Structure 1
């Protein structure tokens, strides 16, 4: 394996983050890697529109997102070989096929099911012999995988094997690797030192709040309830991501409160996680995996459902997270845990027992043996 093409899809940052983590590790091993949004091979304008549309629905119409995901789960034929969606993607694969051949890639890795469907179609209908792999970024199988069967499918844990087999993927094509995270997430800083770097009191209990790169969900309501009952020794770090409107609103409301740290988009997520004692988040696949690597107890707000509901259930059953139905109840759960170091310690121990592997390293080792 000398030259790898990574195919992601800009529908949220999770798939891109996973692909970037793989790319970073592979580059360190001396492998040439390129990362592309697979939609760019269809149409750059379409890619921009789908990215915008996904962000809009995800942030403003989560119920519609959930309906669409559930519909695809119940009727997988909508994405199967011969369906309108499959045929549309299949009819747009020639540009991707030519690129793979001309650039002489010897391996193609997909971190999104659209990319996997397109690569699978290329392998079925042309003489191309490049090995293909799919990497899951959530703790479940996806409806789109009913339509594609790549040589290798890397998944989060042993507990997801049955779900992928039910999607029609043979067990011998499944490899448990863990979900790849950026190398910096694998580095652990001492908690007090991390707090000092971020301007958080060393002896405080720090609650980190982040609802994905788009900053979606009822963050303002939850934060209001938390601030009302925040323990005296506690501080809150709120990461708004790319949601500038939310950032400006919270900055106006809490800018003078020294206990509340309002942050926009930042490249210091790893440092904020190292400083945190508790993490309030939506259960995105990358977010929860990064927290698991950091042994960071979690409180979930299920803002979107879909595949994130499976992520949430995985860590709830483990005993490493809690959740509730309403913003007020989620805030109450968070306050209870801020008051309970013993319970937080129990949750940390569950995460240590889970022992999330280095996903990118495992994927490299498997593919390098081919």
Structure 2
């Protein structure tokens, strides 16, 4: 069976979800052929780097503009398809190249583009949209999407209000790599605390240098900072603080999460669910992008972390109160376990098996749909 997963590097979350889905298919059957394609790079090979760089600059330098455009697109229908006169020809070539039995999209632009192509070509390949944020935004709705994988029941209900058949919407959380599902979290100690700081794919935590100057004074505090591909930040913090380990890009985030008592991070959708799987309470400092705010509200509503919404809050004081409040941290870990048990526990595997059966791939002729939420 051929699975085609379409994504884009607007942040690293969409690509991370794509790889997590690939792993999940391989768990079902290692012989399944999965191809992950960056649709922007495929359609615009000579301009993709500029497109991504421009997006990153808007997000980091002028987030207010990004939020304004995001909110405006909620009120006015925006054509999210990739532009260009030859786009349908390129979609035909893409499908001819990979011969997919199922197409999965992890980004609205890909869903809209394939949906538009399905409308003019009459292909009947199932299109699955995987929502990668706790977002109610209409951008995720594409007319020719056959199935939706969504993080929460609230998003499922919102899609139903927008005319989507509830039978075609599956609550699976946001897919994370298999390594996060096998984490055995250490018992926390009141004597020594481990903090993981991770800024996501588009930048680090605001005013991190100031916060680190204060954290460096606290005894029995061990800090790990993952700077990702941000080489400037890596060099900035390297060897600067005795109680801090600085890590650049790594594929072993699960290893660091398993040792952490809390994580200070941007509330990206993938990081949110990686933290849930690893049962690591979250400390979020002033979320500013629209999707981050939605994710932060979910964290707060489910009591799995603490959100500092305003600049004037004393970050270091709030952090110390948070990390040494054992009763509160244990309650948050229990809430994370509840989310896993009631919403996420092995459900994604069951859903993918069902979708494969629907695509005429014989996984189990007696497959029981009742186990799928």
TM score, norm. by length of structure 1 = 0.88
Q: Corresponding residue for 1:3?
A: 2
1:275 aligns to 2:262 (yes or no):
no
Q: Is the 8 A contact 1:181 1:358 kept in 2?
A: no
Tell me the alpha carbon deviations over residues 257-292 of structure 1, each in whole angstroms, 9 at most, x when there is no partner: 1x2222221222101000000111111000001000
Match of 2:193 among 205, 211, 221: 205
* Structure 2 match to 1:245: 232
In 1, Cα distance between equivalents of 2:207 and 2:222: 16
Compute the displacement of 1:78 (Å): 2.0
* Cα drift, residue 341 of structure 1: 1.3
Separation (CA, whole Å) in 2 of partners of 1:369 and 1:327: 54
Answer yes or no: is the 8 Å Cα contact 1:225–1:331 preserved in 2: no
Gaps of 5+ in 2: 359-373
Deviation at 1:221, TM superposition (A): 4.2
Q: In proportion to residue count, which structure has more helix?
A: 1
Secondary structure of 1:78 counterpart: coil
Structure 1: runs of 5+ lacking an equivalent: 80-84, 196-200
Q: State the secondary structure of the residue aligned to 1:253.
A: coil
The total of aligned residue pairs comes to: 352
Please show how residues 101-250 of structure 1 align to structure 2 within 5 Å: 101-191=96-186, 204-221=192-209, 223-224=211-212, 226-227=214-215, 230=218, 232-250=219-237
1:93–1:10 Cα change, 3 Å: farther
Structure 2 counterpart of 1:292: 276
Check 1:363–1:229 CA distance in 2 against 1; reply closer, same or farther (3 A cut): farther
Q: Show the counterpart of 2:335.
A: 350
Q: What is the DSSP-based 3-state SS (H/G/I as helix, E as strand, rest coil) of the residue aligned with 2:83?
A: helix
Q: CA RMSD of the aligned region, Å?
A: 2.4
Q: Within 2, Cα distance between the matches of 1:359 and 1:138?
A: 18
- Written as runs of structure 1 = structure 2, the 5 A alignment for 1:26-105 is 26-28=25-27, 29=29, 30-75=31-76, 77-79=77-79, 85-86=80-81, 88=83, 92-105=87-100
Following superposition, the deviation at residue 327 of structure 1 comes to 7.4
Find the aligned partners of 1:212 and 1:90 in 2 and give their Cα distance.
35
Question: Does the CA contact (< 8 Å) of 1:7 and 1:115 recur in 2?
Answer: yes
For normalisation by structure 2, the TM-score amounts to 0.87
